[in-house]
Structure formats: structure tokens, C-alpha cells
Amino acid sequence: MEVVILGTSSMVPTKERNPSSVFISYKGDGILFDCAEGTQRQMELAGISRQKVKLILISHWHGDHVGGLIGLLHTIGNKEKGTSVEIYGPAGTKNYMQHLLKSCFFDVRLQLNVHEMKPKKVDKFFETENYELYCCQLNHSVPCLGYSFVEKERRNIDTAYLKKHKVKEGPHLEKLKQGKDILYEGKKIKAEEATYVVLGKKVAYVMDTAFTSIASKLAKDADVLICEATYHSSLKEKAEQYKHMTAEESAQLASAANAKQLILTHFSPRYRDVSELTEEAKTIFPNTKAAFDLMKISL
């Protein structure tokens, strides 16, 4: 699994930063969190095929998070027949999408499935054989969702056990991976003994919100928490006014969630150098890094 931070600015693009978007590549699936203006270009620079985008998860409908959406959908739809994209977002998403598609001549071969979500707590809304997606309501000036990607745990074959019991490679090993016992050359091979459990990875995405305890539940035990840190705590009143978090609050959230790593992003354009934000967060949550455009994280 690879996570690519495509943009790290809030409000507007700067010379150093594009506005918000994050891409997760996982076993052929491409999941895009938000789609700011310039996202297509950032994907090109990162070497990401636009055709890989299968799901788009919108946090909220402020322009700096959706300004690149119509262009990306045009590009995807003009490439192949039968392409489909699932779009998920907060209350109002279906209405906004209808208006967006009428904003230009949208004559492309693309099946769009738009889903509007109003979670009461941390709710699961999507599942495959390998992973699950969750969302929760955040506390912003407009309806806003936080998201988490949760890889399912899996069983790997214990090769030492197979060698000891003279079990050869073959399709029968798939049943063991599924947790099922097998009969091999008259001997019962127990899945519990022949395999071991590998815990899945978790990535949480929390943008544009005042500090809220439900976000810590969404990000609980995350391997990576990608979280807004729009302001330094010296501007806490401004953060409260616009319902954003300071770097200090982002670190408090990561600590409450027992996350393993905190990646700060969504920086106010006033901070050309974000080191003061990173240092503030590190006093509370040491394993903190500042995101930069095109940053890649392998899990």
C-alpha cells in the first residue's frame, strides 16, 4: 500500500503547495481523498494514472477540496468505455454533483455513482475482500466527514511449519489462508498451526474541523493519521472562528487516538516554513512529520 500526499495547502495554492488531496494505492484500487484544483497535475508529477481512481471520498464541499473534480472526471471518462467511479461525500453531495455536471459540457463515457452519507457515529460504508472504509461527522462550518481506510487482517503461511510437516506448495494452501483446516496426504493440517495472523494497516484522514472527540475514535490505533494543522496555537482564536485545528490540537488528537504516526497537512498559506507547526505538535506527539507535496508513504 502506498499513500501519496498530493497537496498540503489550505484555501489557495502557493508556489510550494497545492491544495488538499491524498491518494491511496492498494492492490489495484485507487482511492482519492478530496480533489483540489491542480490534483490532476499533481497526479501526473507523482506518476499516478488517473484511470486508477475508483473511489473519490469528499470531506466537504469547500472549493479548495473539490475544485479539481470536474476536470478529473472528464479525463477518466474520456479514456475508456465502461469506466465507473464511486463518489462518497457528506450531506448535500448529490445536489452539488448535479450542479457540477451542469457547469460544463459533460459528454463522457463514465458511470458515476454518487453516495451521500450522514453517519451517526463512526460508520462503515464500503467493504471489499481486503479492506473497509469508515466515516464520521466532523465539526466544521459546513457538513464535513473524516475517513479511515482499514486493511483486514490476513493469514500468512508458516513456511517452517510446512517444511517440517512436508507439505508442498499448491492450491490447498489457499484454504489454510482462509483459516480452514485441510487434509493433506491423510494428515490433518490445522490452519491455526500452519498460518499466522498479520494485522492490517490503517490510515485516517481528518480535514477541516474543530477538535472533536469522535475523530479520535475514527483514527483509533491508526498506523498513519493525516490531519489538518492549519494554524499554530498562537492563532487559536482564528482556528476556533473558522473551525480548524492548531498543530497542538492535531497532536492531542493523535495522542488520544493512540496513532503510530501523525502527518500534518492543510497549512495556512501564511506559513511558508511549517517547522514551528511541526515542533509544536512534537512536544505532545513526538512521531510527527510535516507533509509536503508529492510525499510518499509506504505501508
Please enumerate in sequence order all residues whose Cβ is within 8 A of that of 64, keeping only pairs 6 or more positions apart, or say none.
Answer: 9, 10, 11, 12, 19, 20, 36, 37
Beta bridge partners, 226, equal: 205, 263
Give the confidence band of 80 by pLDDT, cuts at 50, 70, 90. low
Burial string for 262-290 (b: 16+ CB within 10 Å, else e) reads: bbbbbbbeebeebeebbebbbebbeebbb
Range in 72-86, 203-217, 245-259 with the lowest mean pLDDT? 72-86
Write the pLDDT tens digit of every residue in 225-237.
999 999 999 999 9
Range in 164-173, 203-212, 277-286, 289-298 with the lowest mean pLDDT? 164-173
Range in 115-129, 141-155, 178-192, 283-297 with the lowest mean pLDDT? 178-192
Give the confidence band of 185 by pLDDT, cuts at 50, 70, 90. confident
Rounded-to-10 torsion of CA 95, 100, 105, 111: -70
Residue 26, pLDDT > 70, answer: yes
Residue 195 DSSP SS3: strand
Residue 79, pLDDT > 80, answer: no
Residue whose C-alpha is closest to residue 154's, from 178, 184, 182, 122: 178
CATH code linked to domain 2-153+199-291: 3.60.15.10
Write the pLDDT tens digit of every residue in 253-273.
999 999 999 999 999 999 999
Beta bridge partners, 56, equal: 32, 87
pTM: 0.92
Distance separating alpha carbons of residues 29 and 66, to the nearest angstrom: 21
What is the sign, positive or negative, of the torsion defined by CA atoms of 15, 33, 83, 152?
positive
Distance separating alpha carbons of residues 35 and 72, to the nearest angstrom: 8
* Opening angle at CA 16, ends 147 and 37, nearest 5: 50
Catalytic residue numbers, as ranges: 64
* Mean pLDDT of the residues in the chain: 95
> What percentage of the chain has pLDDT greater than the value 90?
82
CATH 3.60.15.10 intervals, the chain: 2-153+199-291
* Opening angle at CA 283, ends 147 and 232, nearest 5: 65
Q: CB-based burial of residue 241 (10 Å sphere; 0-12 exposed, 13-18 middle, 19+ buried)?
A: exposed
